[in-house]
A and B are shown apart, each in its own frame.
Chain A
Amino acid sequence: MTDSTPDMIRIASGQGFWGDDLDAPVRQVEGGPIDYLMLDYLAEVTMSIMQKQRDRRPEAGYARDFVPLMERIFPACVERDIRVVTNAGGVNPEGCAAALVEAGKRAGVAGRARVGRVEGDDILDRLEQLIADGHALTNMETGDPLVSVLDRVRSANVYIGAEPIVEALGQGAHVIVTGRSTDTALTYAPMMHAFGWTRDDHDRIATGVVAGHINECGAQSTGGNCLIDWWTAPDMANVGFPIVEASPDGTFVVTKHPGSGGRVTRQTIAEQILYEMGDPSEYITPDVVADFTTIDVEEIGENRVRISGITGGPRTDFLKVSIAYSDGWKATGTLTYSWPDAAQKARAAAKILRQRLDRLGLEFDAVRTELVGWDSTHGELAGEPPADLPEVQLRVGVRGSDRAAVERFTREIAPLILTGPPSVTGFAGGRPRVQEIMAYWPALLRREVVEPHLSVHVEEV
């Protein structure tokens, strides 16, 4: 710590996924004081979608929404020294940063702002060499070596940690664009930068990981998608996104802007802590292994929850790799059946649909039938549907390696309207769309073959 170390920094969450509330980052910037704005755009399948976009247009491959957003908030961020950290770069951080520089010029911050970008997480072009060098990139779930699907791999990115972001912040970047940084690093990199934490500060970085986990899904920490007494959540049309007030001692308070909707309570935070949780005593990140069973959660005021007591252990020698590969085709079609005997009609339709698919000689790896409005969420726990169910939506999906077979399936839904059970409607959407399946291949890679390839670039707007 130095004399310039702040007593507290505010890290606001502005985006929980690509497709989240477009105005939330603006509300975070305008609704009260913040020091950092983190924007998470990436999920497991997002990278492969972006890779597909880049294959079509070399300048694409990042979260496009981010650029017009920055054009709106760039002047305010520069004037109030709010620094933005985001993984919007996707598979093309360079293209994203270039678009951002242009947006900065249009927004009138030329000569006053710096854009940083982190590269090197994308290992798609290195896969053959890595395999040749003995890195099998074994699937963590199946144990298969990557070479078995190598010709179908569409994207491959290493989950990288906070250190390159900390370096870019140190070089004075106002906005830092990364590729596949972990979601949590976007929140704790500013803490490491502001408080001078080093990689051996395990407990404090683990604290930052918990803060990151609370920030990374946006309003899911502040009353959104929150089950506890959900009907009492206030002013959800104007829901406030979370803000982490971090202290150098490794504690933090979660809050939101005054006057915003939603709520921050012990229970809303507990629900988010458990979201997508594996073994809570070993939450592995590139920078630390955090122990979520040591968290103390305490309400210290209205919409103020204090988190403390978190411990962590040293980082591992490996980084996780997110690989997407093409694994066949699928399509899903729906039709709606009405009372009386809606569920019976829907099931009868599914039966003859299967018979027709069989007769056509179509082969699929899977055919799935669900009744939306009865069993599509709770399966057999829903029990048998009653005869006077007012309506139900039949949902049939198929998947397989033969694209033509899946295509043919999409032409077998509409005929059911005139050739199957009665009281059927709801086909306004047209033929179902054939989708390419992008399967996820989780693997580990030794960090020393990744880290020398990471680079940080900072440029003036």
Chain B
Amino acid sequence: MTYEPPTGAANATEANAAGTVPLQLVHLAHARSGDKGDTANVGLIAYESDHYGLLREQVTAERVKAHFGEMVQGRVERFELPNLGALNFLLHGALDGGGTISLMNDAQGKVFSTALLRMEVEVPADVAEAAAHRGRVPEGWSAEEYG
């Protein structure tokens, strides 16, 4: 295998003029998705409640729509749940008709959650460093250790 799985933190070595670096959401938040007809929902939950404001500011409906591109045919709606440190997104027209109409492998939108976690946001370098270990299986971990 000559390709590496993309890891935002690993790429986030060069701070820009504002002192921030890009970081993939997978290191800042966890997520769960489901479906209602042709609409997928993604609930995005900050690992640290301190980071909710950062998500709220940067993970806008417009950016999420742009992130998914052709994958989301309709509009993107966003709802805020500050009590859970969470945002809820509705991705309309994302499931090829949804339900039993859809020809998609992921006809019920179960893993749109992780697709959103590929998105990058700009964070202070110290935040990126502290968060770099979150969201991915630790190096050397084996499935034999599961359960």
Contact = CB atoms under 8 A, between A and B. Distances in A.
Contact of B32 (A275, A294, A439): A275
Contact of B71 (A261, A379, A399, A435): A379
A309 B3 CA distance: 49
A73 interface: no
B2 A388 contact: yes
A285 interface: no
Interface in B123-147: 137-138, 141, 145-147
B43 A277 contact: yes
B80 interface: yes
B137 to A, nearest CB: 5
A276 to B, nearest CB: 4
Q: Quick one: which of A236, A271, A272, A297 has the most chain B CB within 10 A?
A: A271
Given A278-B41, A281-B79, A377 B111 contact: yes
B31 interface: yes
B54 interface: no
Chain A contact residues: helix, strand, loop or mixed: mixed
The residue in A225, A273, A368, A370 that gathers the most chain B C-beta atoms within 10 A of its C-beta is: A273
Contact of B30 (A141, A227, A275): A227
Contact of A377 (B38, B69, B99, B115): B115
Contacts of B59: none
B113 to A, nearest CB: 7
A379 B115 contact: yes
A448 interface: no
Given A236-B146, A440-B37, A270 B103 contact: no
B100 A439 contact: yes
B38 to A, nearest CB: 7
Contacts of A237: 147
B96 A366 contact: yes
Chain B CB count within 10 A is highest, among A234, A293, A398, for A293
Contacts of B99: 44-45, 438-440
Contacts of A280: 79, 81, 88
B41 A141 contact: no
Contacts of B34: 275-277
Nearest to B80: A293
B75 interface: no
A57 interface: no
A258 to B, nearest CB: 18
A292 B84 CA distance: 10
B1 interface: yes
A354 B64 CA distance: 33
A234 B147 contact: yes
B8 interface: no
Interface residues of A, number: 60
A376 interface: yes
A235 B118 contact: no
A221 B70 CA distance: 32
A295 to B, nearest CB: 6
Contacts of A386: 2-3
A227 B29 CA distance: 10
Interface string B92-113: 0000111111011110000101
A45 B105 contact: no
A381 B141 contact: no
B32 A227 contact: yes
A274 B45 contact: yes
A324 to B, nearest CB: 9
Contacts of A378: 111, 114-115, 118
A240 to B, nearest CB: 13
Nearest to B94: A379
A450 interface: no
Contacts of B96: 366, 368
B55 interface: no
Interface in A189-238: 225-228, 231, 233-237
Contacts of A442: 37
B23 interface: no
26 contacts: A141-B38, A270-B85, A274-B32, A274-B43, A274-B84, A274-B86, A276-B35, A278-B36, A280-B79, A293-B81, A296-B83, A309-B83, A330-B103, A332-B103, A368-B103, A372-B105, A377-B106, A377-B115, A378-B118, A380-B71, A386-B2, A390-B1, A439-B97, A440-B37, A440-B98, A440-B99
Interface of A: 44-45, 141, 225-228, 231, 233-237, 261, 267, 270-281, 292-297, 309, 327, 330, 332, 366, 368, 370, 372, 376-381, 386, 388, 390, 395, 397-399, 435, 437-440, 442
Given A276-B36, A440-B37, 14 more contacts: A231-B138, A236-B147, A267-B45, A270-B45, A270-B86, A278-B41, A366-B96, A370-B105, A377-B114, A377-B115, A380-B70, A380-B71, A381-B67, A437-B101
